[in-house]
Amino acid sequence: MWYYFEIFALISVIMWSVALVFTVWQKSKTIKLISEVLSLGGFISLLVFIILLWINLDRPPMRTLGETRLWYSFFLFLIGYVVYKRWNYPWFLSYSLFLALVFIVLNWLKPEAHSTTLMPALQSIWFVPHVIVYMIAYAFLGVSSLIGFKALVEHSKGRPVKLLLDFGDNIVYLGFGFLTLGLVFGALWAKEAWGHYWTWDPKETWAFISWAVYMIYMHMRYHRPQKETFHIRMLAFAFIILLIAWFGINYLPAAQTSVHVYS
């Protein structure tokens, strides 16, 4: 059964890879069109895959790291595509396609034994909104980090980066808004499931740290917009902290006692 799902994931990977190449070398109108069709095709295939997985597991596929990665790719693409359409940035679509691909391929290299069991603490109305909101936040902030890297390159070539950073601000504000929602939803859920809204459990601690890092970034940007070199670096690398909060945590010594480490 799992085997049939994987075909959908494979279709996504192939379509997106080709689309990625086409978005980078967008020579003619036809190629542009083909790349859009292929990216949407890959997206639909991923969507079908997620729906089938949900039905097959008979629970939201949001428990394990691999499952959250699927959603991550899903939202990365969605956000990339909407931003691309809205502001007509072809490179933006390339970047989000690239990131989305990385996370699908990660799932290929590290396949998950998708178990259907879901422990009682996770069976809550908060489960879906909490995870979805976080994945949207991660997708925005992941893209903002790519903008940071693009700015890093432009900056090293002596080109102006103000517009890129301003664009990055829009993405960061969106991502940070969702990050805040994820954090607060998590706290409200924790109160219902565990009796307290905040226990400085390692996962919570790192979630707070990544929230704070973006908070620091936003305030620096607001206060000293002209310090571009600093902002570019911070924007590019802040995402690393997010990655620690998301899955680096599973490898930290402090997390061995965490109630949050599933799978």
Partner 1 sequence: MTKNSKRKIWHHPWGYPEGSLIAFGLLLTGFLLDFSTGQAFPKPPFPWNVSLFMLLISVLIVAHLNKKSSPFIRWLSSVPAAISALVLFTFISVLMGLVPQKNMGVPSPSNLLDSWAYFFSYIYLLVVLGLSSLKRIWPLEKRNAAYLLNHLGLWLALAAAGLGAGDIQQYNMFLTEGKTTWYGYQGKNETIELPFALRLNDFTLENYPAKIALVDPKTKAILRSAGKPALTDLPLDKLKTIKGFEILATDYLDFAVIDSLSNFIPLIDTGAVQAARLTVNGAVRGWVSPGNFRFPMRIVPISDTLAIAMLKPEAKRYASDVTVFLPDQQQYPELIEVNKPIEVEGWKIYQSDYDERFGRWSRHSILEIVRDPWLPLVYVGFYMMIIGAILLIFQGKKTK
CB of 55 to partner 1, least distance (A): 14
Is residue 40 involved in binding partner 1 (CB under 8 A)? no
Is residue 178 involved in binding partner 1 (CB under 8 A)? yes
Is residue 169 involved in binding partner 1 (CB under 8 A)? yes
Which lies closer to ligand HEM via its Cβ, residue 110 or residue 224?
A: 224
Is residue 215 involved in binding ligand HEM (CB under 6 A)? yes
In Å, how far from its chain's centre is CA 34?
25
CB of 92 to partner 1, least distance (A): 16
CA–CA gap between residue 204 and residue 187 (Å, rounded): 9
CA–CA gap between residue 247 and residue 235 (Å, rounded): 20
CA–CA gap between residue 249 and residue 245 (Å, rounded): 6
Question: Quick one: CA torsion of 52, 57, 60, 66, rounded to 10 degrees?
Answer: -80
CB of 102 to partner 1, least distance (A): 21
What string of DSSP letters covers 127-178?
HHHHHHHHHHHHHHHHHHHHHHHHHHHHHHTT---HHHHHHHHHHHHHHHHH
b/e per residue, 2-24, with b = 16+ CB within 10 A?
A: eeebeebbebbbebbbbbbebbe
Residues 202-221: x where in contact with partner 1 by CB under 8 A, - otherwise, as a string: x--xx-xx--xx-xx--xx-
> Coil, helix or strand for 48?
helix
Say which entry of ligand HEM, partner 1, none residue 121 contacts (CB below 5 to 8 A, set by partner kind).
Answer: partner 1
CA–CA gap between residue 127 and residue 22 (Å, rounded): 37
- Binding to partner 1 (CB under 8 A) within 80-139 occurs at 113, 115-121, 123-124
Residue from 110, 159, 196, 219 in contact with ligand HEM (CB under 6 A): 219
Helix (H), strand (E) at residue 211: helix 202-223
Which lies closer to ligand HEM via its Cβ, residue 74 or residue 176?
A: 176
CA–CA gap between residue 115 and residue 56 (Å, rounded): 10
Q: Which segment (86-94, 150-158, 213-221, 247-255) binds ligand HEM by CB under 6 A?
A: 213-221
Residue from 28, 88, 156, 257 in contact with partner 1 (CB under 8 A): 257
Residue of this chain nearest to ligand HEM (CB atom): 222
Q: Rule CB under 8 A: which residues touch partner 1?
A: 1, 113, 115-121, 123-124, 169-170, 173-174, 176-178, 180-181, 184, 187-188, 191-198, 200, 202, 205-206, 208-209, 212-213, 215-216, 219-220, 222-223, 225, 252-254, 256-257
